[in-house]
Amino acid sequence: IAGNFFGPQNNTYIRVSLPAVCFVWQIAMVILFGVFIRYDEESDEKGWHEFKRSHNITSNIENDFYFRYPSFQDVHVMIFVGFGFLMTFLKRYSFGGVGFNFLIAAFGLQWALLMQGWFHSLDPVTGKITIGIESLINADFCCAGSLIAYGALLGKVSPVQLMIVTLFGVTLFAVEEYIILDLLHCRDAGGSMVIHTFGGYYGLAISWVLYRPNLNLSKRLNGSVYHSDLFAMIGALFLWMFWPSFNSAITNHGAGQHRTVINTYLSLAACVLTTFAISSMGQKKGKLDMVHIQNASLAAGVAMGTSAEFMITPYGSIIVGFCCGIISTFGYLYVTPFLEKRLKLQDTCGIHNLHAVPGMLGGFVGAIVAAAATEEVYGKEGLVETFGLSGKFENRSMSTQGAYQAAGTCVAIAFGLVGGVCVGFILRFPLWGDPADDFCFDDEAYWELPEDEETIPPVLEYNNHMINKHQDTHESQFSLEES
Amino acid sequence: IAGNFFGPQNNTYIRVSLPAVCFVWQIAMVILFGVFIRYDEESDEKGWHEFKRSHNITSNIENDFYFRYPSFQDVHVMIFVGFGFLMTFLKRYSFGGVGFNFLIAAFGLQWALLMQGWFHSLDPVTGKITIGIESLINADFCCAGSLIAYGALLGKVSPVQLMIVTLFGVTLFAVEEYIILDLLHCRDAGGSMVIHTFGGYYGLAISWVLYRPNLNLSKRLNGSVYHSDLFAMIGALFLWMFWPSFNSAITNHGAGQHRTVINTYLSLAACVLTTFAISSMGQKKGKLDMVHIQNASLAAGVAMGTSAEFMITPYGSIIVGFCCGIISTFGYLYVTPFLEKRLKLQDTCGIHNLHAVPGMLGGFVGAIVAAAATEEVYGKEGLVETFGLSGKFENRSMSTQGAYQAAGTCVAIAFGLVGGVCVGFILRFPLWGDPADDFCFDDEAYWELPEDEETIPPVLEYNNHMINKHQDTHESQFSLEES
Amino acid sequence: IAGNFFGPQNNTYIRVSLPAVCFVWQIAMVILFGVFIRYDEESDEKGWHEFKRSHNITSNIENDFYFRYPSFQDVHVMIFVGFGFLMTFLKRYSFGGVGFNFLIAAFGLQWALLMQGWFHSLDPVTGKITIGIESLINADFCCAGSLIAYGALLGKVSPVQLMIVTLFGVTLFAVEEYIILDLLHCRDAGGSMVIHTFGGYYGLAISWVLYRPNLNLSKRLNGSVYHSDLFAMIGALFLWMFWPSFNSAITNHGAGQHRTVINTYLSLAACVLTTFAISSMGQKKGKLDMVHIQNASLAAGVAMGTSAEFMITPYGSIIVGFCCGIISTFGYLYVTPFLEKRLKLQDTCGIHNLHAVPGMLGGFVGAIVAAAATEEVYGKEGLVETFGLSGKFENRSMSTQGAYQAAGTCVAIAFGLVGGVCVGFILRFPLWGDPADDFCFDDEAYWELPEDEETIPPVLEYNNHMINKHQDTHESQFSLEES
C-alpha cells in the first residue's frame, strides 16, 4: 500500500470490520423486524378490507398510498441519487460519495423504521409497530439526517465509521423528533429542524472532534474535475426539483400538500437567482463557482421545511428563498474557510451553509409564521388541522405555538452538537479503518479502481502505438548503436 | 484573460451586470408577487374547506393536486434535467449548458406565473391572480419556450443576454398563448404551437440576428467528447421518457390524460426506429450519430403536442412518430448545415429540426385531426369537453376549429420570428458581456473551472512520478555532465 | 476500417441492414396497429363517459390511470435510464449500451403491445385489442426480458442482431406469459418468473451459442473506467429506487400495491448490506468492487417479483434480500468466471447472477409463500383477490397454487433456454454485421465517435502548446545544428 511509502498511516483494511458490522446489524434487523414490524391496516390484505368496511370507503383510491406514493418516490430519488451524486464532486472520491451514501441509507432506513416505530407508533396492546407508505417516507427522512452529516465527513472516514454515524444518527434523530414533534408538538413537515438543523450540527460536531491538522497532505485530491462537477450537478438538480415533494410528502391531504408544493417551488426558484448573483460577485473576475450553484441554490428548500405547509403566502416564500441564496453563498465564500482556519472545523461539502444555518433559519421562520397564524386566514378547522391543535393541545394559542416552534429548533441544535461530539469521540478509537491524512479523498483506500481513463487506446491508436513502440525500440537501438 | 493574447475580444466580465440583473428582477418578483399572487381555492387552507363544502366533495383526493402532481414533477425534471443535460453535449460548455438553463428557468417560471396570470386568471374584482398546481405546470411550459431558444444560442451568448431572452420570451409567450388559446380558442395541451413552434422560431430569429461570421475561430470547441455525449444522453432520455407527462399534464381529467399518454408513448417509440434508420443511412459507413439519437428521437413528442389529446388513434400516433424521426434526422444531416451556409443561421443544438419544424408540423396535424373530429367518435359530451366547445364557442363546427388551429400555428411562427428579430437587436448592444468569436463554446468565459482531469495522479503514480522526476533530474544532470 | 489491419474480420457495415430492419418492422407496426389496436374504455373519450355512467362512477379519479401512472413512469425510467445506463459501464461501449438499449426497447414495446394483446385482450367479437395504461406497463415489462438478454450479449453483437433478439424475445415472452399467467394461473406481478428468469436464461443460452473463443483479443476494452462506472451507477440507482414501482405497477389496487411497495423496499435495503459485506470479503485487501454494488444490490428486487404482493411479512422480505445479496455477489465473484471457463458462457453483465438465479429463486419463494397462504392472514376476499381465485379457479387450494407457481418457474426456464438456443443459431448466420473478436466492446464499430477527450485544449494551454511546439521545433533545430 502507498501508505508504506508515505510513512505511518492508518490501516484502511476493512475486510473484517465492514462485513462484520453489515452482517451483525442486518441479522439484528431481521430479528427485530420479526418481533416488531407488521403491515398497517392500509397495506394489510385483510386489514384494508376491514378498514374500508368500517370507514365506509368504497374506493381503493382513498388508500393513503395514492396520496403519498408519488412524493415518496421523489424523496427516495433525493436520498439515493440526490444526496449520492451531490457527493460525487470530488475528483477521486466519487465512488465513495455515491457508494457509501447508498450503504448507509440502506441501513439507516431499516433502523429508522424501528426507532421511529418505537417512539411514534408502537401499539401498547399488541406490542407491534405497523408500517405503511408514510413510515417509509419518514424512514427516508430519518436517513437524511445522517447523510447530511456524511457531507461534512466526506473523504475522511471509513465506511465502518459511517455505519456508526448512522446508527447513532438515526437513534438521536428518533429521540429529538419525539421531543420536538410529540412533546413540544411542533409542526415540521419538511424537517427544517428535525432533519437539517440536527443533521447539520451533528455532522459539524463530529467533524470538529475528528479534526485532522495535516489534511493538506491530501489537498491535491480535495477538489473537483470538470466531469465530477457534472455528476454532482445531477444530484443537485434532482434535489432541487424534488424538494417540493420532500416538504409536502407528509403534510395534510388536500390543500396542505398542494400549498406546500407551491411555496417550496417558488422559494427555490428565487434562491437560484440570488445564488448566481452572489457567486458572481464573490469572485474577482465575476466568474461563477459550481460549488455555489450545486449547493446554495438548495438552501431555500431547507429553509422552507417548516413553514412551507403554513400560509406563508407566495411572496413570503420568495423572500425566504431570496435571503437563503445570499446567506448560503456567503457561507461558502467566507464562513467555511473561516471555520476551517479558526474553529478547526473541516466541512468537506459545506453542510454548514446548506443545512445547519438554513435549517436553523427555517425553524425560526416557521416559528414566526406559526405565531402570526390567524383564524381569519386559515379558517377555524384549517387552523386546527394545520397545527394539529386538537386533543390536549386544543387551547394552545398561536403565539405559544410559535414559541414552541422556536424551542424545537434549539432542541435540534442541542441534540446535533452534543450527540455529534459524543459520536465523534467514539469514532476516534483507532479501530475503524479510517484513512491517514495523506490518503483522504481517495477511493483507492476502499475501492478496487479500474485502470485510468487515459489508457483506453482506440483500436487504431493502440495499434499504431504498438508499431511506434516497436519503431522506438529500433530507433533507440539504432541511436545506441550510432552513439 | 486569454482574450488579450488572441487580440480584440468582447468583454465577458459580468461581475456587475449579472448580479444587477438578478437582484433587480428578483426584487421586482417579490413586489409583484406581493401585490398580485395568492393561493387558489384548492391550495388555500380556508378556501379548500369552503370549496369542498360548496362543491359537495367529501374526499381530499378530488383536489386537482392529485390529478396533476405526478405529471408536474415529470415536467419539472424535463425542464431542469432534460433540457439542462441535453445541452451538456459540448466538450467544454457543459457547465454553461446545464447551469444557465437552471438560471433562466428559475427566473422564467416566476415571471411566467405573473404574465400568464395577468392574461388568463386575473380576478377582475380582487385584482389578484390565484395559483395552483396547474399554474406551476404552465409556468414550467412557458419557460420551455425560452429554453428552446437557448438551444440555438448555446455557447454564443452571456448569461445576462439569456436573462433578456427569457424576460422577453416569457412575455411574448404569454401574449401569443393568450391569442392562440383564448382568442382563437385553439387546443394545444402539449404546446406544439405555443411552446415548440414559438420557441423554435424565436431562437432561430435571435440567432440569425446575432450571426457570427468568424465563429469557426471557436470550432475546436464546437463538438462533443465521449463523456459529454453520455451526459447529454441523460437529458435526452429524461425528455423522451417523460414526454407523455408533458403532453398530458394539463389535459382533461380522466380519459383525456389517459389517452394523451398512450398517443405520445407510441409516437415516441416509432420515432426512435426511423431516427436510427436515417442516422445510419446518412453516414457513408453506416455508423450512427449520437446527435441524431439524442435529438431527433424526441421530435415525435413535439409533433404530438397538439393532437395527442385528440382521438388520433394509436396507429395515427405511430405514423406521426414515423415521419418525425425521418424529417428531424434529415434536418440534422442536411438542413442545419444548409441554414448555416446559406442563411447565415447558426443553430448550435439544431432546434430547427427538433422544435421549429416538428412543432409546426404538430400544429397542422392537430388542425387536421380536429377538423376530422366527429360526434360518432368522441360522443357528444366528449366533443364538447375535448375541444372546450361551450359558452360562446358552442356552435363552432369542427372544420372551423381545424381552421383556427392552423391559424394558431401561423400566429406562433409570426410571434417567434418577429419577437426573435427584435430581441436579437436588443442583444446586439455591446453591453451584455458576450464572448468574442474565438471564445465561444468555452466555460472558461463565465465559470471558475477546476483543474484538468489528466492531472489527477493516483497516489502511487503521483509518487512514482515524483521519483521519476527526481531521477530525470539526476539523469539529465548526468547527461549534462556527460556531454 | 481497422479490421483490414487486424486481418479477417466480420463486416460491421450496417448501413443497409439496420435501416431495412427498422423500416420494415416499423411499417409493419403501423399496419398491425391500424388493424388491431384501439383505446380501451378508460382512455377512449366516448367510452369513458359511457363507462362512468354504466359503472355509476362520479369522479374521474377512479380512472385506472390515476392508480398506475406514477408507477408506469417509474417503470419507464427503469427500462430506458435504468437498464440503459447500467450498461454504460464498459469504457468504450457506453454509446452502444445506452443507445441500443433505447432502440430495442422502443421497438420491443410496440411489438409487445401486439403480442400481449393477441394473447390476453383480443376481443373475439370486434377482433380488436384495446389498450390502456396497464398495457403500456406490460409492454415495458415485456421489453425488459429482451433487455436482460442484451446484458449477456453486450459488446458482442450488432444492433441488427439485437433487433432479432428482441423480436423473438418479445414473442417468446408473450407465449410463456400466457402459459404461466393464464393457463397455469400463476401470480407474478413483478415478473420473477416471466421477466427475469425467462430473460436471464434466454440471454445466457444465446450467449452460449454465440461463444467466441478468441474474445480475449478484445480484453483491453472489456472493463470500466472511473467515469463509466459512475454512469453505470446512475442506471443502478434508478433501478434500485424504482423497483418498488416495478413490482407494484400492476398489482391490485389498494392494499395490494401498498404492500408490494413495502416488501420490495425492505428487501432491497437488506440486500445492499450483504452485497457490501460479501464484496469486501471477496477481495484480498477488503476493497469493494463497483460491479457488485451496481448489480448484486438489485438482486432482491428481482427475487421479490413474485412474492412482494403476497403477505410475505416485512421480515420475510428482509430475509429474501439478505440471502440475495450474498448469492448474487458470490455469483459475480466465483460463478461468472467459472461459467466462462468451464461452460464457455460469456456473460458480459453477469445476468446469471442478477436475473437468472435470483429470478428462479424468486419464483420458488413465491411458490412457498403462496402455498403457505391462509384465510386467517388474507381474509376470505383478500385470498380470492390476491390469487385471483375466482371463476374456474375458485376451488384451487393454496398448496395446489404453490405447485403451479413452482411449475411456472420451470416453464420460464425452459422457454428461456430452448428459445435462446434457437435464436442463437439464427444469429450465427453471417449476415448481421456483428464485430470480429478483436473488435468487440468497441463503439467504433457502430458509432461515429467524437475526438478524444485528451485533445480538448483549454484556450490558454492550446495557445501555450502552440508556442511550445514552435519552440520545440526551434530547439530541435538548434540541437540538430549543435550536433
Interior CA angle at C455 toward C451 and C456, to 5°? 100
B34 chain-A contacts, CB cut-off 8 A = 313, 315
C289 chain-A contacts, CB cut-off 8 A = 447-448
pLDDT at B458 over 70: no
Window 40-79 of A, Cβ < 8 Å to B: 61-62, 66-67, 70-71, 74
B445 chain-C contacts, CB cut-off 8 A = none
A59 chain-C contacts, CB cut-off 8 A = 62
Q: Which of A237, A273, A315 sits opposite B34 (nearest CB)?
A: A315
- C-alpha pair distances (Å), B33 with each of A258, B117, B118, C191: 18, 11, 12, 50
CA dist B442 and B436 (Å) reads 11
Check if A287 contacts B (Cβ < 8 Å). yes
Q: Which of B233, B245, B265 sits opposite C136 (nearest CB)?
A: B265
pLDDT band at A11 (very low <50, low <70, confident <90, very high): confident
Whether residue C459 and residue B439 make contact (CB cut-off 8 A), yes or no, is: yes
Q: Which of B239, A69, B234 is nearest to C71 (CA)?
A: A69
For residues A175-190, give the mean pLDDT. Answer: 96
Residue of A nearest to C265 (CA): A136
pLDDT band at B432 (very low <50, low <70, confident <90, very high): confident
CA dist B325 and B318 (Å) reads 11
Window 267-286 of A, Cβ < 8 Å to C: none
CA dist B295 and B233 (Å) reads 9
Whether residue A273 and residue B106 make contact (CB cut-off 8 A), yes or no, is: yes
pLDDT at B278 over 90: yes
Whether residue B45 and residue A238 make contact (CB cut-off 8 A), yes or no, is: no
Q: In sequence order, what DSSP letters do the residues of B18-35 get, joined into one string?
A: HHHHHHHHHHHHHHHHHH
Residue of B nearest to A220 (CA): B456
Is 0.90 exceeded by the ipTM? Answer: yes
pLDDT value of position B431: 82
B203-240 pLDDT per residue, tens: 999 999 999 999 999 999 999 999 999 999 999 999 99
| Cell output for A209 | 472532534
Q: What's the distance, CA C160 to chain centroid?
A: 18
A227 chain-B contacts, CB cut-off 8 A = 227, 231, 453
Residue of C nearest to B273 (CA): C22
Q: Which of B253, B259, B268 sits opposite C39 (nearest CB)?
A: B259
| Residue for grid cell 438521536 | A172
Whether residue B241 and residue C85 make contact (CB cut-off 8 A), yes or no, is: no
Beta bridge partners of C131: C39
CA dist A452 and A463 (Å) reads 19
Q: Helix-strand-coil percent breakdown of chain B, rounded to 5?
A: 75, 0, 25
Q: Which of C30, C39, C65 is most worth mutating to test chain B (most B CB atoms within 10 A of its CB)?
A: C65
Window 452-471 of C, Cβ < 8 Å to A: 452-454
B55-89 pLDDT per residue, tens: 999 999 999 999 999 999 999 999 999 999 999 99
Q: Which of C229, C265, C315 sits opposite A450 (nearest CB)?
A: C229
Q: Which of A276, A383, A444 sits opposite B458 (nearest CB)?
A: A444
Check if B254 contacts A (Cβ < 8 Å). no
CA dist C178 and C412 (Å) reads 11
User: Under a CB-based contact definition with an 8 Å cutoff, are residues C383 and C373 in contact?
Assistant: yes
Give, for all 483 residues of chain C, the pLDDT tens digit.
344 443 445 688 999 999 999 999 999 999 999 999 999 999 999 999 999 999 999 999 999 999 999 999 999 999 999 999 999 999 999 999 999 999 999 999 999 999 999 999 899 999 999 999 999 999 999 999 999 999 999 999 999 999 999 999 999 999 999 999 999 999 999 999 999 999 999 999 999 999 999 999 999 999 999 999 999 999 999 999 999 999 999 999 999 999 999 999 999 999 999 999 999 999 999 999 999 999 999 999 999 999 999 999 999 999 999 999 999 999 999 999 999 999 999 999 999 999 999 999 999 999 999 999 999 999 999 999 999 998 899 999 999 999 999 999 999 999 999 999 999 999 998 888 899 999 999 999 999 999 765 545 444 444 444 444 444 444 444 444 443
| Cell output for A363 | 425553524
Window 119-158 of C, Cβ < 8 Å to B: 131-133, 136
B283 chain-C contacts, CB cut-off 8 A = 15, 448
C389 chain-A contacts, CB cut-off 8 A = none
B70 chain-C contacts, CB cut-off 8 A = 69-70, 73
Q: Where are the beta strands (DSSP E) in C97-164?
A: 129-131
B287 chain-C contacts, CB cut-off 8 A = 446-448
The alpha helices in A182-313, defined as continuous H runs, are 198-209, 226-248, 255-281, 290-295, 299-303
Whether residue A95 and residue C290 make contact (CB cut-off 8 A), yes or no, is: yes
Q: Which of A228, A318, A375, A453 is most worth mutating to test chain B (most B CB atoms within 10 A of its CB)?
A: A318
Q: Which of C91, C224, C379 sits opposite A45 (nearest CB)?
A: C379
User: Under a CB-based contact definition with an 8 Å cutoff, are residues C35 and C99 in contact?
Assistant: no
For residues A11-23, give the mean pLDDT. Answer: 93
The alpha helices in C193-254, defined as continuous H runs, are 198-209, 226-248
Minimal CA separation from A317 to chain C, in Å? 28
Whether residue B450 and residue A223 make contact (CB cut-off 8 A), yes or no, is: yes
CA dist C407 and B79 (Å) reads 48
Check if C159 contacts B (Cβ < 8 Å). yes
Q: What's the distance, CA B447 to chain centroid?
A: 23
Question: Can you say whether residue A127 is alpha, beta or left, with left for phi > 0 and alpha for psi between -120 and 50 degrees?
Answer: left
pLDDT at B406 over 90: yes
Q: What is the pTM of this model?
A: 0.93
Q: Which of A85, A218, A287, A376 is most worth mutating to test chain B (most B CB atoms within 10 A of its CB)?
A: A287
Q: In sequence order, what DSSP letters do the residues of B353-411 get, joined into one string?
A: IIIIHHHHHHHHHHHHHHHT--HHHH-HHHHHHHHT--GGGTT--HHHHHHHHHHHHHH
Q: What is the DSSP letter of A447?
A: B
B230 chain-C contacts, CB cut-off 8 A = 88, 94-95, 98, 231
A264-295 pLDDT per residue, tens: 999 999 999 999 999 999 999 999 999 999 99
Whether residue C98 and residue B237 make contact (CB cut-off 8 A), yes or no, is: yes
Give percent of chain B with pLDDT exceeding 70: 91
Minimal CA separation from A131 to chain B, in Å? 22
C454 chain-B contacts, CB cut-off 8 A = 454
Q: Phi/psi at A130 (nearest 5 deg)?
A: -105, 135
pLDDT value of position C290: 96
Beta bridge partners of B129: B37, B122
| CA dihedral for C363, C365, C367, C373, sign (positive or negative) | negative
Q: In sequence order, what DSSP letters do the residues of C49-101 get, joined into one string?
A: HHHHHHTT---GGGSHHHHHHHHHHHHHHIIIIIHHHHTT-STT-HHHHHHHH
CA dist A330 and C174 (Å) reads 59
Whether residue A106 and residue C449 make contact (CB cut-off 8 A), yes or no, is: no
Which chains neighbour A (Cβ–Cβ under 8 Å, 3 or more pairs)? B, C
Minimal CA separation from B170 to chain A, in Å? 16
Minimal CA separation from C375 to chain B, in Å? 32
C64 chain-B contacts, CB cut-off 8 A = 258
CA dist C382 and C374 (Å) reads 10
The alpha helices in C249-289, defined as continuous H runs, are 255-281
- C-alpha pair distances (Å), A118 with each of A112, A122, A191: 10, 5, 20
Report CA Rg, chain B. Answer: 25
> Residue C122: helix, strand or coil by DSSP?
strand
